[in-house]
Amino acid sequence: MNLNDPKSLKSLRADIPGLDRGVYLNTGTLGPCPRPVTRRLFELYQAWQEAGPGNPDVYVAMAESSLKAKTPIADYFGVTPDELALTSNSTDGINIVAGGIEWRAGDEVIISNEEHPAGLLIWLHLRQTKGIRVRVARLDHESRSRIREEVESLITPRTRLVALSHVSCMTGLRLPAREITEASHAHGVPVLFDGAQSAGQFPLNLPAIGCDFYAVNGHKWLLGPIGTGALYVAGKALVDLVPDRVGGGSAESYTYAEEGEIRLHPSARRFEFGTRCHPLWQAWPESLALLDEIGLAAIQARGLALSQPLRRELAGLKGVTLVGPAPGGDPELLTGAVTCRLEGMEGERLREVLVSRFGVVTRSVSEREATRFTCAFFNTEEEIDQAVRAMRTLAGETAA
């Protein structure tokens, strides 16, 4: 599928809902789930219910189908199904890792100054309940080496984990994941990446990155159903991560007695338990197949081809300030997300005006008093132009 061919792009867009209601530049919050994926989800759910959902044979078959769905999901990230736990979202995965470490007062975790609440609140909670110390790396928007050096400079003998977003939800900055992992491992510190903004934007091979944990969700750039996610746990890290919650499904075997014991699954499956909506994960590979058909390299190129002109145009508007990587910077730091401030208008207000007056859907970044535009592969040059015209109009009004 050629994204630069107008006919191919038009055909692709016809299967993505909501694009006829305005300029959708907010895939970084929720990616529109393609209609074939939603149809597949509904078909699976209806078939499950009509077969008698509590029939043991039916329920077991549904659970086994979820396990089979792990294979295409794992393939997508270059890992094995045994290294993957099916979760509800990235936040779920981060909490699994945070809860599986035996924290002591004074232990340290390193995060960045550009984390989603999912990558901040759990650590603040542990600071309040366990007495851990949260150390914050100040991210540089121009140099990969300075990012790595900043993270490494914060590592001490008390550092138990480096937990960072692979791509910043605030600015779209792409961190040098492999370099950060190598630097952290040199000090014996494991690494967790939040892949909420990376998975689906560009090719990912998790073993090549070398990190210990990688949390993703399906509902953003991967265009999967809401309620889908996965946590990658490298084989060597699985030994040290102790589940803080278990239930039916997480144990390979157990004995029912006062002195009973459980034997957890020897894979990441130990983090999966309880009654689950299996059709969610069974339908998710449908969206991954679409992305594979297009090609992650083509998707990445398309996102940059749309976001770079937007970045340049916004940088040239009086009263508009980019928040994040500048135009013409290191391309390895750039993604399809562009964040800016408009002088004289708070970020949430700008978001409201963009959608109400111009039909441009964005997301506010309250931590930076800014607004974020995310350019997905299905967006068009005309939509980017419309967003630029809207910002030019507003910049002229606020400057007057």
pLDDT per residue as tens digits for the range 44-82 = 999 999 999 999 999 899 989 988 999 999 999 999 999
At 378, give phi and psi (nearest 5°): -90, -5
Return d(Cα 69, Cα 374) in angstroms, integer: 29
Res. 349: pLDDT tops 70: yes
For residue 302, count other CB atoms closer than 10 A to its CB.
21
Q: Which CATH class is domain 40-291?
A: alpha beta
3-state secondary structure 83-146: HEEEECCHHHHHHHHHHCCCCCCCCEEEEECCCCHHHCHHHHHHHHHHCCEEEEECCCCCCHHH
Return d(Cα 60, Cα 56) in angstroms, integer: 6
Q: Which residues contact 1 (CB under 8 A, 6 or more apart)?
A: 8, 12, 293, 294, 295, 298
Helix (H) or strand (E) holding 364: strand 363-365
For residue 17, count other CB atoms closer than 10 A to its CB.
14
DSSP H helices, the chain, are 6-14, 35-50, 56-77, 90-99, 121-130, 144-153, 177-185, 206-209, 235-238, 278-294, 296-315, 347-358, 381-399
The pLDDT assigned to 66 comes to 87
Cβ 81 vs Cβ 68: under 8 Å:
no
Q: Where are the domains of the chain?
A: 6-34+295-394, 40-291
Cβ 145 vs Cβ 162: under 8 Å:
no
- Give the rounded percent of residues in the chain with a pLDDT score beyond 70: 100
Give the fold, CATH level 3, of 6-34+295-394: Aspartate Aminotransferase, domain 1 (3.90.1150)
Cβ 399 vs Cβ 391: under 8 Å:
no
- Give the rounded percent of residues in the chain with a pLDDT score beyond 90: 93
Residue 379 pairs in a beta bridge with none
> How far is CA 246 from its chain centroid?
25
Please compute Rg for the chain using Cα positions: 22
Tell me the pTM.
0.96
**Residue-wise pLDDT tens digits, 208-254:** 999 999 999 999 999 999 999 999 999 889 888 999 999 999 999 99
Residue 336: closest CA among 316, 359, 357, 310: 310
Rounded to an integer, the average pLDDT of 288-295 is 96
**Sheet of strand 108-112: strand arrangement:** 84-87, 229-233, 213-217, 191-194, 159-165, 108-112, 133-137
